[in-house]
Amino acid sequence: MSNILPIMRFRFLKSISFWGKAFFLTVVVLISWLIWSKFGTFHFVPLLIVGGGFVFLETRRQVLIDKALKEILKQGGVELKEKIPQLEAKRSLITAIFYLVRKMGLGKEPVPKFHQVHELADLGTDWIKKHLGKMMTLHEVLNPILLNSFLPPIKAMVHHSIKNKKVFVGASIGCGLARFEEKIAKYCNKQRFPSIIFATDANKDLILKTKKGVEKRGIKIKFQDSDQEINLQSIIDEVQRNRQSLIYFVPVKAENFHNLFRAGFKIDLVWFLQSREHTIEEHPEVFDQIKECAKEWIILETFRNWGVIIFGNLINWWISPIFATETEISITRNYTPQEWAKKKIGVIIKRFPYFCWVLSKGVYATLKESGFLGKSFGRKDQLITLS
């Protein structure tokens, strides 16, 4: 039965995608007619150029989705076939909206609880991995606003660590393309703060690709291809001597993260940037292990609301034909600030318009004293709970 359901949903979405294409073409024709009738042929030419570009992108989308579906069907397996409805949801704007509404629980299906679902990047063929990597790079064009919203608590902890022990040691669980870690490293370089940032991710191919890009952009890096214990003192001496930041890339699973450090050593700060579904939800005991080797921790998330899901994912729908897992994660696994509060794992700050910080008490105290919240705290930001 479980094998049949994804195919049934795939056929259902495929039928809706026909009306999505019809809607798209109707809108193009109507706008073209209105502009031509009101402004004449001269103003109609730019519209033709723009419209041609949209048609090209739309055609490209269909071709890429077809290729991805063929690759998935060749491989077989239930886990991959479950991704078919996600890909089909990218066929048209109408299909995407329908998919989002259903996943939000406004249709007959309730919002599902968290369960283990592998991403295409983990399960797909080389073609899908390669293409997904390109789409993720394109997706990052929109990320600076999101990433900047998560920086204040990190900056506060960096300043606190430098003031007290002249060096900052931080770590990211599930760094992905390390855009956030790169921002932190650049900030530390600008301030001449000696800092070490351990960027970890279970996907080794992604780490290898990411470190090359980061190095080209002038950030000093190191790479370790194992979860063996790291000789920290020599690295600390190096960054202090040069007064610079270093991103240390390690392809390691979250459950093996604590093996990187000697017993008793505590990192200044560990953060989870939209990666808690792989640890806190799937393996709560791993979260406890990570906290054991960290002085403080932060969970950085976008929370679940209509604004984020509709606008964020529709932009994602347009620029990224097969980057489908982001929609799934945003809708089924994100929490509202109130849901975070019920977990009672830390201090919850709702940062408008749709960001959420879950902070350990130490980070919260440092943040309040640092001034990095600025005048907006209490007016735009909202403290949800203090456990």
Quick one: average pLDDT of 33-61?
74
Average pLDDT, the chain: 78
Check residue 35 and give its pLDDT.
Answer: 75
Confidence of residue 303 (pLDDT cuts 50, 70, 90): confident
CATH superfamily, domain at 141-302+335-386? Vaccinia Virus protein VP39 (3.40.50.150)
Selection from 98-112, 251-265, 320-334 with the highest mean pLDDT = 251-265
pLDDT at 358: 93
Q: Is the peptide bond before 6 cis (omega within 30 degrees of 0)?
A: no
Q: In sequence order, which residues have a C-beta less than 8 Å from that of residue 329 and are 6 or more positions away?
A: 274, 277
> Comparing 155-159, 165-169, 206-210, which segment has the lowest mean pLDDT?
206-210
Band of the pLDDT at 114, cuts 50, 70, 90? very low
Q: Compute CA 376 distance to the chain's CA centroid, rounded to the nearest angstrom.
A: 25
List the single range of 21-30, 86-95, 167-176, 306-315 with lowest mean pLDDT: 306-315
Q: What pLDDT digit, counting tens, does each position of 169-216 carry? A: 999 998 888 989 999 999 999 999 999 999 999 888 889 988 998 999
Q: With bands split at pLDDT 50, 70 and 90, how would you rate the model's confidence at 153?
A: very high
Q: Are 96 and 314 in contact (CB under 8 A)?
A: yes
- On the question of pLDDT at 152 being above 90, the answer is yes
**Two structure tokens written together for 323:** 């980057």
Q: Which of 63-77, 114-128, 135-149, 166-180 has the lowest mean pLDDT?
A: 114-128
Q: Is the confidence at residue 40, as pLDDT, over 90?
A: no
Confidence of residue 45 (pLDDT cuts 50, 70, 90): confident
Burial of 312: CB neighbours in 10 Å, binned 0-12, 13-18, 19+? middle
pLDDT in tens, 355-366: 889 999 999 999
For residue 361, the model assigns a pLDDT of 94
pTM, to two decimals: 0.75
In this predicted model, which residue has the larger pLDDT, 326 or 166? 166
Q: Show me where the domains of the chain are located.
A: 4-111, 141-302+335-386
The confidence score (pLDDT) of residue 130 equals 65
Residue 135 vs residues 33, 338, 357: alpha-carbon distances, Å? 34, 33, 27
pLDDT of residue 185: 96
**67-72 CB contacts, 8 Å cutoff, 24+ apart:** 67/127, 68/120, 68/124, 68/128, 68/131, 68/321, 68/322, 71/124, 71/125, 71/127, 71/128, 72/124, 72/128
pLDDT at position 324, please? 47
pLDDT in tens, 242-301: 899 999 999 998 889 999 998 888 999 999 998 876 667 767 888 989 999 999 999 998
Percent of the chain residues topping a pLDDT of 90: 28
